Structure 1
Amino acid sequence: MCPADIAILKPHLHREFLGLRTQLETANAPIKTVYFFESGIGSVVAKLRTDVDAEVGIIGLEGMTGSALVMGDERSMHDCYIQLDAEVLSIDVVSFTSLLSESPTLRPFLLRYVHYFHLQASFTGLINARLKLENRLARWLLMCGDRVDGDRLTITHEFLSVMLGARRPGVTVALQTLEGRGLIRSNRGEVIIRDRAGLIKMANGSYGRPEAEYARLVGHIH
């Protein structure tokens, strides 16, 4: 983002600390606030009905909520909530949309991020349809690892089942598979990444291409 756009955004940004499950966007409801992440992770979750849902995208320090606003809509298609405790910079929707109109460069820059996010989501759809659960889990852990400091992820099996669109017993087996190969250590409510290179191999080609596109379009995540 160019210095001029940072300057016009800054007076409207408010720092907040948001805990697990904090709702950021609600499906089919107007977006009220845009959040730029400085730490933590948000999950974009698609829901067919109450008992059928799955994560379709994640947002960390590389990104923001409110993609629909950048594209000219006012409503979110999916739910979005905090997956790992986050520090964010928030801006109300009225100020944000006004700045999008005021700046000739802000919307084009943010559209590059939105394009990347759609690439991420499209790969998630492909991978969820074609790869094994342990491959998908490896990719998901790598993506989260890109967005947090250190190697520890605070996450329950129940939450992982939503993130991966899988039943809890299957998630447990996938975690045991990765742990048995020395790639992670899984404790109650926590996963520790031990072998990142091994996880990349386990991801079976599903990790890396959207990340490379982010670097091309926006810059490196870290």
Structure 2
Amino acid sequence: MNVNRAPLSASLLVALGCAACGTTAPSDVRPPEPRSSAETPRIPIGSVAPRPPLQTVPATVIPLPTVESPRPDDAGIFADPATVSAEWLRQWCTLDWREPMNANLDRAARYQTSSSAKDDRREGDTDDTYRSMREQQLSSGCDEVTAMSSPEAPQSADVAYLVLSARRVNSAAGVAFEAEQVRSARRVLRQTDGRWLVDTRVEAG
């Protein structure tokens, strides 16, 4: 399935139904009215292809934390392909409008190969999408992060194929308006120094 991928901020604008992009979102922004699953747009961002939203989030739901701190230099994270993949997705998926542009990509790059980081960077925010993101105070928090070996792909001592997923809650001005599941299949490579790093996106079967 081909998914039209776009930066988070640009895609969230669509989900919010922005009618006045370019103006700062007021502090009392309310989430959009619930829509049927057929009408609710996907929010494709970067290199993680989302599935259809799980649910429209009630106004009483508290958004997930939208700032992730880099983990300490724990060699254990890089010793296992599933562990490093989960950490990569956790850092990549979480985004806050108060951070510098593409701060999530900067955090995630620590856990991936340079070629993979460059690919993700090409699909990151631009000056225009970042400006719109800040004006509407768009953020995303993620939890329920999993990384499982793909049963359909060959595994070896130096190459692993994993299916990554997470639940993501999107918010505007601190108000959650949608929850969805993001999913990505990635190749993970063991480096010459023994560390595992997330590599390129692969097509899921």
- TM exceeding 0.5: no
TM-score (norm 1): 0.25
TM-score (norm 2): 0.26
Which one has a larger percent helix, Structure 1 or Structure 2?
Answer: 1
Relative contact order (C-alpha < 8 Å, sep 6+): which is higher? 2
